[in-house]
Chains A and B, each alone.
Chain A
Amino acid sequence: MKKAVLIFVSGLVLALGLVSCKNPAKSNAGWNLTNVIPLDSIGAVGIAAAENGNLWLADADNNRLIKINATGAVREVHPGFERPMHIATRGNALLVAEYGADRLSVYQIPKRDTLGLDVGFDAPSGIDREAGLTAVADFYNHRIVLLDGKTVLSVSKKGTGPGELTYPTDVQFAHGKMFVADAYNHRVQVFTPQGKHLLTFGEKEKMNAATGIFVSDKNVFVTDFENSRLLIYNLEGQLQGILSETLNKPTDVVQIEDRLYVLNYSGRSVSVFRNLDK
């Protein structure tokens, strides 16, 4: 009898353990809120790392780029960008997707080069560059465009199947792959840098517009706009945690060392999380 009870209790403990192991989504994956940086009149959609702990913001509402410090104090203002959306810093250059002008800007202050006017973009919303290859999320054309300086390669088409896109908003090269925020398919898709589809994930989490993506050394962070959440996956696409504290319609995210900066478009703020394990 004692043995039977022991087996039953052991089984129960094991079962509970399995259930908890299968439910990591409630975890914050080690990220704890430290502070919120108010942005007030800045209506930013994109965020990227700047030097010395500063941040670049693409102030789409006011057609400009802004550099702020960790407390939100404005350090620099760069006007003349038409609805800049997602941005990326690569080397000394700031890459800007100008949604309202159907063009890209490579900004090495004060020099500014314009790209893509002959590509036929319709609202470029995200951009990244690696090894001379520039990837662009072409929102209304439902595709990723790859530019190598000589040729233009169009990746994907509108659809809901594997490898197909519906209003992509952001793109990033990382780990030899290309990660795409497939916004209105509510998921993430991974391609080779040449455009071959490799992986799709995030559909189980019932996102409502995957508006921004950032890939770190271990994780893929995705902003879930309408649900005001940040979803954290490992590189294989398995959910590791969800952040929602202080988030308000987020559109972009960037990790700098042990801190995660989540840009709240409607909240007009940046929520800062810290992970002491990093």
Chain B
Amino acid sequence: MKKSTLFCFLMLLNGIIFAQNDQFTLRVEGMGCPFCAYGLEKKFKDVKGIAQIKIDIQTGKMTFAVPAETSLTLTEADARVSKAGYTAKGISIKRSNGKTENMGDVNKAIVPTAMAGEGKIKQTFKVSGNCGMCEARIEKAARSVGGVEAADWHEDSKMVTVTFSKKTKLADIQQAIAKSGHDNAGAKADDSVYDKLPACCQYRDRAH
């Protein structure tokens, strides 16, 4: 009897602790290197009350819990990832009150490339970059421009294929990509932006 009472008490306590926490899941592409992955983890350590941090380098998934009163938002979490020099492909929050909030997709493995249809333009051009993190950043920058439906960058060829409406200017897409730190066929990134890219993304310094 005593054992079952203790068990129930512990389960209740456990439920209360978890109920007071917001559970975060982030998908950050390209975290293949432990030095980069644990560098990202470090940038979240000053979030008040953060706990249960888990990071899966193979899948790029990072999960953690924060007390509900911390009120960390999707935008703030995304900004922290960006500040660390990475790009979040998806963020999901399960709030302590049971509500969920999503940005992007934490489970999506590949971003599909849409075919150019009527009234659409499909352009391919060179964008400098090195890795999966570059891919996520380049594609996100391209898609941030109004009218862009799809962007697909390939690490081997260094070419991006962008599908966008006829009202959208190619130069605006190239400027947006340059502002994310990536030199391309139409625009060059400022040194100040380039210098903030993570180590594995700094394509200019490479000997090859």
Contact = CB atoms under 8 A, between A and B. Distances in A.
Q: Which 10 A-B pairs have CB atoms at the shortest separation, nearest pair first?
A: A184-B199, A167-B199, A206-B208, A203-B207, A160-B205, A83-B38, A45-B34, A99-B38, A60-B34, A186-B207
20 contacts: A85-B34, A100-B38, A100-B42, A123-B38, A140-B39, A160-B205, A166-B199, A167-B199, A169-B35, A184-B202, A184-B205, A186-B206, A186-B207, A206-B208, A209-B199, A226-B33, A249-B33, A265-B34, A266-B57, A266-B58
A60 B32 CA distance: 14
Contacts of A45: 34-35
B62 to A, nearest CB: 13
A269 interface: no
Interface residue range, chain A: 20 to 34
A184 B207 contact: no
Nearest to B38: A83
B200 interface: yes
A125 interface: yes
Interface in A46-88: 60-61, 83, 85
Contacts of B208: 206
B78 interface: no
A139 B38 CA distance: 12
A183 B35 contact: yes
Interface of B: 32-35, 38-39, 41-42, 45, 57-58, 199-200, 202, 205-208
A123 B205 contact: no
Given A100-B41, A123-B42, A186-B207, A251 B34 contact: yes
A166 B39 contact: no
A206 B199 CA distance: 16
A28 interface: no
Given A209-B33, A249-B32, A266-B58, A183 B38 contact: no
Contact of B35 (A139, A187, A226, A266): A139
Nearest to A83: B38
A211 interface: yes
A233 interface: no
A83 B37 CA distance: 11
Interface in A127-172: 139-140, 160, 166-167, 169
A225 interface: yes
Contacts of B200: 184, 209
Which of B32, B34, B42, B208 has most chain A Cβ within 10 Å? B34
A100 B42 CA distance: 6
A251 B45 CA distance: 24
A99 B43 CA distance: 12
A185 interface: yes
Which of A61, A166, A184 gathers most chain B CB within 10 Å?
Answer: A184
B73 to A, nearest CB: 25
A147 B200 CA distance: 29
Contacts of B202: 166, 184
Contacts of A186: 206-207
Q: Which of the listed residues B35, B41, B199 has the most CB atoms from chain A within 10 Å of its own CB?
A: B35
B64 to A, nearest CB: 14
Nearest to A125: B35
